[in-house]
Structure 1
Amino acid sequence: MSRHIRAAVPGPGRLRSSARRHDFVVDFEEYRPMLLGLAYRLLGSMWDAEDVVQEAWLRWQGTDRSEIREPRAFLVTVVSRLAIDQLRSARVTREAYTGPWLPEPVMTSEAGPLDTAELRDTVSYATLHMMERLSPPERAVFVLREAFGLPYDEIADIVGSSVANARQMHHRASVRVTEGRDRFRPSSEDHAKLLMKFMDAAAGGDLGALTDLFHDDVEAWNDGGGKVRAALRPIIGKRKVLAFLGGLLARYDFSDARLLDVNGRPAIWTRVAGTHQLVMIDIVDGRIKDIYGVLNPDKLARVHPG
Structure 2
Amino acid sequence: MPEHSAPPHPAVGRRRTGPRVPATADEHAERFTLLRPLLFTIVYEVLGSATEADDVLQDSYLRWAEVDLTTVRDTKSYLARLVTRQALNAVRAGARRREDYVGPWLPEPLLVDESDLSNDVVLAESVSMAMLVVLETLSPSERAVFVLREVFGFSHHDVAEAVGKSVATVRQVAHRAREHVQARRKRFEPADAATTAQVTKQFLTAAGTGDLEGLLSLLAPDATWTADGGGKTTATRRPVVGAEKVAACIVSLFRKGQGLPDLRIAMVTCNSSPALVASRGDRMEGVFLMEIVDRKITHFYAIRNPDKLQAVTVPRSISR
Structure 2 CA distance for aligned equivalents of residues 180 and 77 of structure 1: 27
Matched, 1:270 2:278: yes
Cα distance 1:205–1:168, how it changes in 2: closer, same or farther (>3 A)? farther
- 1:125 counterpart (129, 133, 142): 129
Gaps of 5+ in 1: 1-15
Structure 1 CA distance for aligned equivalents of residues 210 and 25 of structure 2: 60
Q: CA deviation at 1:288?
A: 1.6
Q: CA deviation at 1:115?
A: 5.6
Cα distance 1:112–1:177, how it changes in 2: closer, same or farther (>3 A)? same
Cα distance 1:190–1:151, how it changes in 2: closer, same or farther (>3 A)? farther
Equivalent residue runs for 1:194-205 within 5 Å: 194-205=199-210
Structure 1 CA distance for aligned equivalents of residues 185 and 84 of structure 2: 28
CA contact 1:44–1:103 (8 Å) conserved in 2:
yes
Bigger CA radius of gyration: 1
Give the root-mean-square deviation of aligned CA atoms. 2.9
Cα distance 1:187–1:169, how it changes in 2: closer, same or farther (>3 A)? farther
Q: CA deviation at 1:114?
A: 7.5
- Residues 67-89 of structure 1, C-alpha deviation per residue, up to 9 Å, x if partnerless? 22211111100101111221233
Cα distance 1:227–1:185, how it changes in 2: closer, same or farther (>3 A)? same
Q: CA deviation at 1:111?
A: 11
Structure 2 CA distance for aligned equivalents of residues 137 and 251 of structure 1: 42
Q: CA deviation at 1:290?
A: 1.1
- Residues 182-234 of structure 1, C-alpha deviation per residue, up to 9 Å, x if partnerless? 34332233233222222221111111111122222211111122222111121
Cα distance 1:189–1:147, how it changes in 2: closer, same or farther (>3 A)? farther
CA contact 2:223–2:242 (8 Å) conserved in 1:
yes
Matched, 1:220 2:225: yes
- 1:297 counterpart (298, 306, 309): 306
Structure 2 CA distance for aligned equivalents of residues 289 and 211 of structure 1: 11
Structure 2 CA distance for aligned equivalents of residues 85 and 114 of structure 1: 32
Equivalent residue runs for 1:139-150 within 5 Å: 139-150=143-154
Matched, 1:236 2:244: no
Structure 1 CA distance for aligned equivalents of residues 128 and 24 of structure 2: 38
Structure 2 CA distance for aligned equivalents of residues 219 and 275 of structure 1: 23
Gaps of 5+ in 2: 1-19, 316-320
CA contact 1:118–1:146 (8 Å) conserved in 2:
no
Cα distance 1:33–1:246, how it changes in 2: closer, same or farther (>3 A)? closer
CA contact 1:33–1:112 (8 Å) conserved in 2:
no
SS in 1 for 2:104: coil
Query: What is the match of residue 14 of structure 2?
Result: none
Higher helix share: 1
Q: CA deviation at 1:271?
A: 4.6
Query: What is the match of residue 86 of structure 1?
Result: 90
Percent identical among aligned pairs is: 36
SS in 1 for 2:52: helix
SS in 1 for 2:136: helix
Query: What is the match of residue 253 of structure 2?
Result: 248
- Which range moves more in the overlay, 34-43 or 188-197? 188-197
**Higher relative CO (CA 8 A, sep ≥ 6), structure 1 or 2?**
2
Give the alignment's TM-score, normalised by structure 1.
0.84
- Residues 219-266 of structure 1, C-alpha deviation per residue, up to 9 Å, x if partnerless? 111112222211112112234323433433454429953311222332
Cα distance 1:193–1:151, how it changes in 2: closer, same or farther (>3 A)? farther
Equivalent residue runs for 1:1-306 within 5 Å: 20-109=24-113, 116-178=120-182, 179-253=184-258, 256-271=264-279, 276-304=285-313
Q: CA deviation at 1:155?
A: 1.6
Cα distance 1:206–1:70, how it changes in 2: closer, same or farther (>3 A)? same
CA contact 1:257–1:268 (8 Å) conserved in 2:
yes
Structure 2 CA distance for aligned equivalents of residues 89 and 36 of structure 1: 19
SS in 2 for 1:289: strand
Structure 2 CA distance for aligned equivalents of residues 189 and 91 of structure 1: 41
Amino acid at match of 1:184: E
Give the alignment's TM-score, normalised by structure 2.
0.80
Amino acid at match of 2:68: D
SS in 1 for 2:105: coil
Structure 2 CA distance for aligned equivalents of residues 29 and 275 of structure 1: 30
Q: CA deviation at 1:120?
A: 2.1
